[in-house]
Structure 1
Amino acid sequence: HCSVCVHSSSQMTLQVCLEECMEALDLFLNNHFSESLDKLRPRVKESMYHALIYATVLEMQAMMTFQQDDIVNAGNTMKSAQEQLQALHADACYAECLLQRAALTFLQDENMVSFIKGGIKVRNSYLIYKELHTFLQSNSSLQGPNHIHLEGGVSFGIGAFNLTLSMFPPRLLKVLEFAGFSGDKEYGLSQLNDGATTNNLRSMLCALLLLCYYTFLTFILGTGEGDVADAEKLLKPFRLRYPQVMCACGLLVGCTVMMICHQAVVLFEDGCKAQQQWKQFHHMCYWELMWCFTYKCVWRMAYFYADLLSNESRWSKAMYVYMKAAYLSMLAPGEARPFGEDEVELFRRVSTFKQKIAGKSPPTEKFAIRKARRYKASCPVRLPVPVLEMMYMWNGFSMISKRPELTEGMLQTLVEAERTLLESPVNEYSMDDRCVIYLLKGLCLKNQRHIQAAEECFNKVYNSEKKIRFDHYLVPNALLELSVVYIDTGRKEEAIKLLVKAKTNYKEYSMESRTQFRIHAALSKLKADTSDQDEITPL
């Protein structure tokens, strides 16, 4: 299935190909980006492994830069590699190309709808991996010097499919043409762990996906219970082998240490110093530093990093400008603004930076534009706590759940905002703004284990459903958070009822996909079978 490397059947030639590709990956992961590409480029037309790893490196670059030219270049290179691999009948590498093309389009659309429209047959990738997995299991006695690389590739594919599909709600699986299938999360984790802990060509990909799951995905799309211990254990050998990239890659490593904010700040600042070739590493670190200072309620420092991002990063200028305005709005009315900027003017400009990737705007950008809309009025009604509201969208209240002093700081900020709101004249936004504060106060109280008070806050939002005019996302999220309280206090059946209500009764609200992912994660935690599919087949 994977024995051909170049137009020769020589075992030594295959060995040389694999060794060169491993060396190129080492160069890339130690920040020698140009040298890595230079090593791979001369043989991309004759070696399937060179073609695949060259395309993989370009894809990693595209995922960091978010620049359209890089995305198109990576996509075209991966497509060329795929065609070459198809001609060679190199099944494992071909399946990996399909899977990586899917990952490339995932950054363009959170729901991966563009992935389907683009005609990429990810289902073929799954079927190839499944066939290869069966082949390896039934032919375990067939071993060669390079067999470990095939096993690593299959572990990566089977693990990636099982883990990622286990996180998708059934409704989204239907959109992705995976109706009738679901992933086995634990099996996916074990396969990826096998791939990450052996020295093969895909070990780093397995490790990166595991780190992404243990940290970023479990917090952003899950119930906020990332396994920090497992992430640190997995990270240790790679940190020794690739110290600079592990320090610089804030997106993956950041959440691992986010619980200890002073350590996180040092890590990300070191990450910015570690290399100068790809500024996108810096942008990941800036993003994490922005949230570190947000959790500490140090609005000026958080603003500083949002300003750096708005000037340097192409991911979402609308989001960065919104965050700049949000941080300024958290300062006292008479307090001097950095660079003489004015939050009202910044909020008014947010919509002018709207972008479309593959014909769609990122959901967080849509949310920011919608929230900033009220500042278009000649006498705008200020948002009460825009920073903390956006922090909730990134599940930041779970991030600080083990840091009582940070939760207390958040709660005091919310209490002050609530006092200001109650003293202000009633307007068309008053009820929505109160419910935003109730939701966020509930999260703080939950962190502090004031269970009854937290429940009261979430119920206030739910009971205000008919009075909410703009922020319709609040009710399903309040039900979700109330269900998490019920889960934590052993009220499983009540939790399931609330989750099903949140899942089925509310549609077309802000950040709906993210909420649906979290609902699915909570139901999965409860092992609740609420699927409307006729048949569920684990991969």
Structure 2
Amino acid sequence: MSFFRRNKKNEDKKDPLKTEDVLDSPTSPLQSEKSDLSLALQDCMTALDLFLQNEFDEALTRLKSRNKDSMYHALTYATILEMQAMMTFNPEDILTAGNTMKEAQALCQRYRKKSSFNSKHFTEEELHAEVCYAECLLQRAALTFLQDENMISFIKGGIRVRNSYQIYKELHTFLKSSAYVNGYNHGHFEGGVKLGVGAFNLMLSMLPTRTLKLLEFVGISGNKECGLDQLQEGSAELTFRSFLCTMLLLCYHTFMSFILGTGEGDVEDAEKLLQPYLKKYPKGSIFLFFAGRIEEIKGNIDAAIKRFEECCEAQQHWKQFHHMCYWELMWCFTYKRQWKMAYIYADLLSKENAWSKAMYAYMKGAYLSMMSREECQPFSEDEVALFRQVPGLKQKIAGKSLPTEKFAIRKARRYNSENHIPLPAPPLEMMYIWNGYTVIGKHKDLTEGILETLNEAQQRIEQQPRNEFTTDDLCVVGLLKGLCLKHLGRKDEAEHYFTLVLCNESQIKYDHYLVPNALLEHGLLCLEVGRIEEAIRHLDSARQNYKNYSMESRTHFRIQAALQKARGMVENGDTCSPSSP
């Protein structure tokens, strides 16, 4: 159970962009009272407005002027630095953001109530200190996972998550009690609680079953619908945290539901959330980026490319936004099979961004492998040399290698041999890891183009003498062809290829991730045609019977999302057709 009662969505949404109008109103109690808290909130919202207009230095300067005495200035300043660190993965940026957030937490502690939380009497300042303190804890936990290189970081991060969760839980209970009295800034406090409660419920609901059971053992649980409702309400109200609620919802609908789910995000809702911000901040980098991502997942790849290019042109100060666009542009050109352009953006990332040099080198090699020798000449790089570089570029975050880097290293190993066997279609295989087939599935021409390339790859494999990679390579191509055929409506043919992978399970030598993922995709296909009981069997088999394979955690996230969808169909009374023989 989640830790709050589900609330009805706010049907009469207010415009979250008119908060400054409320703050500036001559009759507003925020203005007439002129409390330190009210003035701090007003100043932080002005700084946030500057940030959203790409005036990054001005925003940080304004916040830094009071980040030693105002908890809202300290929290907002640290939050922006954390955003920067998350985009660069630069160790110095992560360390600076962590220390700044630690200072913000210490400042919030000074304003917190000294006695037990069970006390019924809080000043307004003490309530705001509690919600800001919980937010600092949560953000520090996220940074801790990035910063250290040993298991102590996970223990510290887990404790912070647990403490933050408990504070939000108690604040939500207090908010509903008779002891709670609205202060002048009660909307901002309630918005903070909705942000925390919504974020926890949404994120926890996405976790794989085995992780959820461990968390429930220590009293932590989440409910997806309740989380979405809380964030939706928080985004619609005129509060300081409306923007953060909106950002979380946009991230969920356009990224998390694709990368860690089955692509079930509400694109229409994402568009509605983004529209007022895009109208007010037409050159705002963060909004242009999400506008591009929305076009991309709708299958409008050319429109997406245009938006990402606009985002890059809008400002030159924070290159981090450019790197996010380069990553999406790389995939957009992959969907279009324009390998040269995809290579160019992978190359830009390898030179400018520190997130995963191994991944960027792998993708550069992958794109060169799809070109002829003549097409490769202008780039002065060799695919074999790039693949051989991949293991040496591996890095560790929180003491562990990135799962996508591990995957790339395993795939690149075959190039260590002098008489190496080329990978059949490496960009298209990596595209599956990032759930790109859900994107191209909305565009028939793109899907048919990818299928054509996969057919060519299959022919090359079949024309070569059999070798130790033959079965694995045919199963990789088979899984990807099954996805294309499913999206083209050729479901019987798709099922044939998923079944083909499963039938070759004992012959697969290296790519053991293929079998649980074939079960996952077969299960999703069964859901589409109404064979729900069979779908659940496939999904449960994928979840319970396989372990220690590449990208296992990501697969388990997707299995969890698919099982939730299946159980929802059963609860809604959808017909469970008899299982096929």
Q: Give the distance between the partners of 2:190 and 2:178, measured in 1 at CA.
A: 12
Compared with structure 1, are the counterparts of its residues 114 and 489 closer, same or farther at alpha carbon in structure 2 (3 Å cutoff)?
A: farther
Q: Is this contact kept in 2: 1:52–1:81, CA < 8 A?
A: yes
Q: Is this contact kept in 2: 1:438–1:461, CA < 8 A?
A: yes
Give unpaired runs (5+ residues) of structure 1: 1-9, 530-539
Matched, 1:313 2:353: yes
Compared with structure 1, are the counterparts of its residues 397 and 177 closer, same or farther at alpha carbon in structure 2 (3 Å cutoff)?
A: same
Q: Is this contact kept in 2: 1:225–1:398, CA < 8 A?
A: no
CA displacement, residues 134-169 of structure 1 (integer Å, 9 cap, x when unaligned): 222224983233111001100100000110000001
Corresponding residue number in structure 1 for 2:282: 243
Corresponding residue number in structure 2 for 1:121: 160
**Higher mean C-alpha deviation, range 118-127 or range 228-237:** 118-127
Matched, 1:256 2:256: no
Q: Give the distance between the partners of 2:51 and 2:277, measured in 1 at CA.
A: 13
Matched, 1:86 2:126: no
Corresponding residue number in structure 2 for 1:50: 73
Q: Give the distance between the partners of 2:544 and 2:90, measured in 1 at CA.
A: 37
Aligned partner of 1:387 among 413, 417, 427: 427
Matches within 5 A, 1:43-192: 43-89=66-112, 90-105=129-144, 114-118=153-157, 120-139=159-178, 142-173=181-212, 181-192=220-231
Aligned partner of 2:324 among 284, 288, 297: 284
Q: Is this contact kept in 2: 1:65–1:315, CA < 8 A?
A: yes
Paired residue secondary structure (2:511): coil
Corresponding residue number in structure 2 for 1:210: 249
CA displacement, residues 99-124 of structure 1 (integer Å, 9 cap, x when unaligned): 11233345679xx9944354642111
Amino acid at match of 2:67: V
Matches within 5 A, 1:498-513: 498-513=538-553
Amino acid at match of 1:389: E
CA displacement, residues 37-80 of structure 1 (integer Å, 9 cap, x when unaligned): 11111211211111111111111111111111001111111112
Corresponding residue number in structure 1 for 2:380: 340
Amino acid at match of 1:255: R
Compared with structure 1, are the counterparts of its residues 72 and 108 closer, same or farther at alpha carbon in structure 2 (3 Å cutoff)?
A: closer
Compared with structure 1, are the counterparts of its residues 240 and 120 closer, same or farther at alpha carbon in structure 2 (3 Å cutoff)?
A: farther
Q: Is this contact kept in 2: 1:239–1:246, CA < 8 A?
A: no
Q: Give the distance between the partners of 1:226 and 1:76, measured in 2 at CA.
A: 35
**Higher mean C-alpha deviation, range 353-362 or range 68-77:** 353-362
Compared with structure 1, are the counterparts of its residues 267 and 446 closer, same or farther at alpha carbon in structure 2 (3 Å cutoff)?
A: same
Amino acid at match of 1:410: I
Once the two structures are TM-superposed, the CA of residue 172 in structure 1 deviates from its matched residue by 2.2
Once the two structures are TM-superposed, the CA of residue 341 in structure 1 deviates from its matched residue by 1.4
Aligned partner of 2:495 among 455, 466, 470: 455
Q: Give the distance between the partners of 1:198 and 1:486, measured in 2 at CA.
A: 41
Q: Give the distance between the partners of 1:424 and 1:116, measured in 2 at CA.
A: 51
CA displacement, residues 401-440 of structure 1 (integer Å, 9 cap, x when unaligned): 1100000000000000000110011111110000000100
Q: Give the distance between the partners of 1:104 and 1:207, measured in 2 at CA.
A: 21
Q: Is this contact kept in 2: 1:167–1:517, CA < 8 A?
A: yes
**Higher mean C-alpha deviation, range 42-51 or range 10-19:** 10-19
Identical amino acids, percent of aligned pairs:
61
Q: Is this contact kept in 2: 1:102–1:122, CA < 8 A?
A: yes
Paired residue secondary structure (1:470): coil
Report how many residues are paired: 518
Q: Give the distance between the partners of 2:202 and 2:431, measured in 1 at CA.
A: 26
Corresponding residue number in structure 2 for 1:29: 52
Q: Is this contact kept in 2: 1:249–1:284, CA < 8 A?
A: no
Q: Give the distance between the partners of 1:353 and 1:407, measured in 2 at CA.
A: 33
The CA RMSD over aligned residues, in Å, is 2.1
Q: Give the distance between the partners of 1:140 and 1:228, measured in 2 at CA.
A: 40
Q: Give the distance between the partners of 1:487 and 1:135, measured in 2 at CA.
A: 42
Matches within 5 A, 1:365-384: 365-384=405-424
CA displacement, residues 442-492 of structure 1 (integer Å, 9 cap, x when unaligned): 000000111111111001101111100000000000000000000111111
Paired residue secondary structure (1:138): coil
Once the two structures are TM-superposed, the CA of residue 255 in structure 1 deviates from its matched residue by 3.0
Say which one has the larger Rg.
2
Paired residue secondary structure (1:128): helix
Aligned partner of 1:265 among 268, 292, 305: 305
* TM-score, reference length from structure 1: 0.92
Q: Give the distance between the partners of 1:14 and 1:410, measured in 2 at CA.
A: 56
Compared with structure 1, are the counterparts of its residues 253 and 506 closer, same or farther at alpha carbon in structure 2 (3 Å cutoff)?
A: farther
Q: Give the distance between the partners of 1:179 and 1:299, measured in 2 at CA.
A: 49
Q: Is this contact kept in 2: 1:249–1:285, CA < 8 A?
A: no
* TM-score, reference length from structure 2: 0.86
Once the two structures are TM-superposed, the CA of residue 85 in structure 1 deviates from its matched residue by 1.2
Q: Give the distance between the partners of 1:211 and 1:107, measured in 2 at CA.
A: 23
Q: Give the distance between the partners of 1:142 and 1:477, measured in 2 at CA.
A: 52
Q: Is this contact kept in 2: 1:221–1:517, CA < 8 A?
A: yes
